[in-house]
Amino acid sequence: GQSLEQPSEVTAVEGAIVQINCTYQTSGFYGLSWYQQHDGGAPTFLSYNGLDGLEETGRFSSFLSRSDSYGYLLLQELQMKDSASYFCAVSGYNFNKFYFGSGTKLNVKP
Amino acid sequence: GAVVSQHPSRVICKSGTSVKIECRSLDFQATTMFWYRQFPKQSLMLMATSNEGSKATYEQGVEKDKFLINHASLTLSTLTVTSAHPEDSSFYICSARGSMPNVNEQFFGPGTRLTVL
């Protein structure tokens, strides 16, 4: 089976940096993705790591360590609009399956 | 970016009726679509993987006779909740997997809120 763990909630102030961790246990691992979901909305793709290391996309960066079954999403220069839930997801064989973590609710305060 | 629509956005039905939800990729061909279920403030639970022209692959614990999935074309997948009961009330979201080389990316529809009375 699959198991992904994330912190349930994180609070930070505007302009700060926040890191959301994700540890996973899965078979047939292909990669780790991150999605953002605002309340009542659809998830939107943020980042993907297929190989170990850091991927940077603007204010967002994501990291993967396959040997540690661990990854994180780093959000810099936090803005109020970043308040949302963030999900890590593992890709199964040939990207025919995606399993999501429990989600981390990020609260950005002024 | 790729756009996925879902219809209806909200449906209320009586117990025992069937409800069909449509998921369409509007500007690209999606050979693979996914159906998820999400309870309030919880994660997305994968229900099934839908491949165009073949039978859907259901996750363990998901009743294939209750949640009928059809993926008849490269732009349309449907989920039919048969004989719906109050415990089927949930937020159902579809997604379409990106085309090469972006097969690691999913594009989500806006979701369908199902309430069974």
B105–A96 C-beta distance less than 8 A: no
CB contact under 8 A, A33 and B105: yes
Nearest to B93 among A42, A97, A103 (CB): A42
Are B45 and B117 within 8 A, CB to CB?
A: no
User: How far apart are the C-alpha atoms of B7 and A90, rounded to whole Å?
Assistant: 27
Residues of B in contact with A105 (CB under 8 A): 41
> How confident is the model over B78-86, as a mean pLDDT?
96
Q: Chain B contacts of A91, Cβ < 8 Å?
A: 104
> Most A CBs within 10 Å: which of B26, B106, B113, as the mutation test of the A interface?
B106
d(CA A90, CA A94): 12
pLDDT tens by residue, B36-71: 999 888 899 999 999 888 889 999 999 999 999 999
* pLDDT of amino acid B1: 67
Please choose, from the candidates A15, A3, A8, A10, the residue with its C-alpha nearest in 3D space to the C-alpha of residue A77: A15
Residue A12 near residue A74 (C-beta atoms within 8 A): no
Question: Is the confidence at residue A76, as pLDDT, over 90?
Answer: yes
Q: How far apart are the C-alpha atoms of B41 and B101, rounded to whole Å?
A: 32
Cβ contact, residue pair A97, B43, below 8 Å: no
